[in-house]
Structure 1
Amino acid sequence: MKTIISNGTPISYHSYGSGPATLFFLHGSFIDQSYWKEQVSFFKEKYRVVTMDLAGHGESGTNRAVWTLENMADDVVNVIRELQLENVVLVGHSLGGNLALIAATRYPEPIIGFIAVDNFKNLATPLPAEYESQVTEIIESSRKAYADTNEHYARMVLLTPATPQWITDKIVAAYRNSYEPMGQQTLPQFFEMYRIEQEAMPLLRPKMNLINVNYYPTNVDALEEHAVNGYTLIEIAGTCHYPMLESPKALNEALDEVIDSVLEVKTTY
């Protein structure tokens, strides 16, 4: 584990292997870089693989008074700069996909590929108006009972009754034990992420590649409308939001396919 200082906060990262491209894996909300263990093992023999703990997660620091998704995306850019990474394929799961999108449009030069894992299922699309009261209730509930609200959200949205128990236990514990000041401040921003997606999508140079789990459908019409520079969608079978835990072999195979296509496109430049 190594560390850089970004926006005054220690950011922990790992770097493995070498190769013609760097795969930069970004984890989702309230988990950490260790979730990419099976991907690191699979890809480090062919590529350089970098993982990091987002600020407020894992071994990274929590010493921020103000928590914004934009600053967390800047941390990603700062790691890329610090390590002088080139030919970067960003691979972001959940929140990591959103941060990868911001980072790719703020520092596009080294980015040759963009892959999101179980994200952008309603790309650049706001929640229907009838859900606004539910959003308010979730935010208020989080302020009163943070851990309980997080657990309820994880069970209702990210997991299903068919999810293996060990995964359910792992995710529930991660959500309950997450750093509350960060979670409280970023929660309202999640519901406004569609605005950032609307602004960022025309600026995203690489094609948007999605590897989504079929436990919850992807809105293809939204992709057609907003992924103006193209997209691919691979769906894999699963019961939850965490294919790196539930279906690592299927995820690795899908990633391998997409990464090959990214590198093929690069060689035609």
Structure 2
Amino acid sequence: MKSLIHDETAMHYVLAGSKLPTLLFVHGADINLTYWDAQLAYFADQYNVVALDLPGHGKSGRDKKQWSVKTMGQYVATFIKSLNLEQVILIGHSMGGDVNLVAATTYPAPVIGFIGIDNFKNAGQPLAPEYQQQSKEIIHNLHTDFANTNEQYARMVLLTPQTPDAVATQVVQDYRSAYQPMTIDVIEEVFNDLYLTERELLPKLPCKLHLINVDYMPTQEEPLQQYATTGYTFHHMAGTSHFPMIENPDELNKKLDEVIREIRQESNEKA
């Protein structure tokens, strides 16, 4: 485990392998880099692989007064610059995909590929009206009963009754123990404003958007056709939760392997 200090906040990360391109794994909200353990082990012999704890997560710093997806994306861009990472393929899960979207459009030069894991399922779209009151109640309850509310949110939105017990237990424990100020700021952004960031930045991606999404919740392709103007591919994955990296790591690794090879071919053709 290593750390990098930026803006007085420590960012912890792990690095393995040495062969280009670089795979940079960015986790989603309220979890940490250990969710990528199976991917790091699988790809370390083939590529330079890096995973980090986003600020407010895992072993990274928490000394900030305000939190946002945009700021986390800027941290990731700075991280890439500071480590002089080359031929970067950004791989982001859930909110990590939006973090990477900010990073890729902030510092596009070294980015040759972009992979989203179970995200951009309704890209650039505001929360449906029937869920807006519910979202206000969730935010209110996060202030008053954080651990139970965050667990309920995970079980209601990210897990299903069919999710294996080991997966559900790990996720619930991490959501209950997440850093409250960060979680509240970020979920308010996700509910209210993040779709505007996606509308603005998806057309500015420096490369094609590749998605590997789990079918426990459908992906709407019409918004992707509208906003992912640099092109996109959508890869379906069977599963019962939002966390394929720990629910079905072998299958995810196979799909990632296929997409990474496709990205490398695209990059070579451009060169």
Normalised by the length of structure 2, the TM-score is 0.97
The yes-or-no answer on 1:225 pairing with 2:226 is yes
Query: Where do 5+ consecutive residues of structure 2 fail to align?
Result: none
Alignment of 1:37 with 2:42, yes or no, is no
* Equivalent residue number for residue 215 of structure 1: 216
What are the superposed Cα offsets for residues 211-249 of structure 1, whole Å, 9 maximum, x if unpaired? Answer: 001111000112112211110000111100010111111
The answer as to whether partners of 1:77 and 1:103 remain within 8 angstroms in 2 is: yes
* Identity %, equivalent residues: 45
Q: Which residue of 2 aligns with 1:235?
A: 236
Tell me how far apart the structure 1 counterparts of residues 186 and 223 of structure 2 sit (CA, whole Å).
24
Shift of 1:268: 1.1
Gaps of 5+ in 1: none
Give the Cα–Cα distance (whole angstroms) in 2 for the partners of residues 256 and 163 of structure 1.
25
Match of 2:55 in 1: 55
Cα offsets for 1:54-98 (capped at 9, x unmatched)? 001111011111212221111111110111011000000011111
TM-score (norm 1): 0.98
Structure 2 residue 15 is matched with structure 1 residue 15: yes
Distance (whole Å) between structure 2 residues aligned to residue 128 and residue 57 of structure 1: 29
Counterpart of 2:103 in structure 1 is 103
* Residue equivalent to 1:148: 148
Q: 1:120-131, aligned counterparts within 5 Å?
A: 120-131=120-131
Deviations 1:111-165 (A, max 9, x none): 0000000000001111222322122111111111111110011001100000000
Structure 2 CA distance for aligned equivalents of residues 125 and 183 of structure 1: 21
CA contact (8 A) 2:118 2:213 kept: yes
1:42 CA drift (Å): 0.7
Counterpart of 1:242, as a letter, is F
State whether structure 2 residue 185 is matched by structure 1 residue 185. yes
Paired letter, 1:211: I
Contact 1:89 1:115 (C-alpha < 8 Å) held by counterparts:
yes
1:135 aligns with 2:150: no
Letter in 2 for 1:157: V
Q: Distance in 1 between matches of 2:41 and 2:130?
A: 44
Structure 1 stretch displaced more, 258-267 or 182-191: 182-191
How many Å separate the matches in 2 of 1:240 and 1:129? 24
Deviations 1:12-46 (A, max 9, x none): 01110011200000001111101101100111111
Is residue 7–residue 71 contact of structure 1 (8 Å, CA) maintained in 2?
A: no
The aligned residue for residue 202 of structure 2 is 201
Give runs of ≥4 in structure 1 deviating > 4 Å. Answer: none
1:202 deviates by 1.3
CA distance in 2, matches of 1:19, 1:250: 23
Aligned partner of 1:193: which letter?
L
Secondary structure of the structure 1 residue equivalent to 2:269: coil
Secondary structure of 1:267 counterpart: helix
What is the aligned-residue RMSD (CA, Å)?
Answer: 0.9
Separation (CA, whole Å) in 2 of partners of 1:82 and 1:46: 23
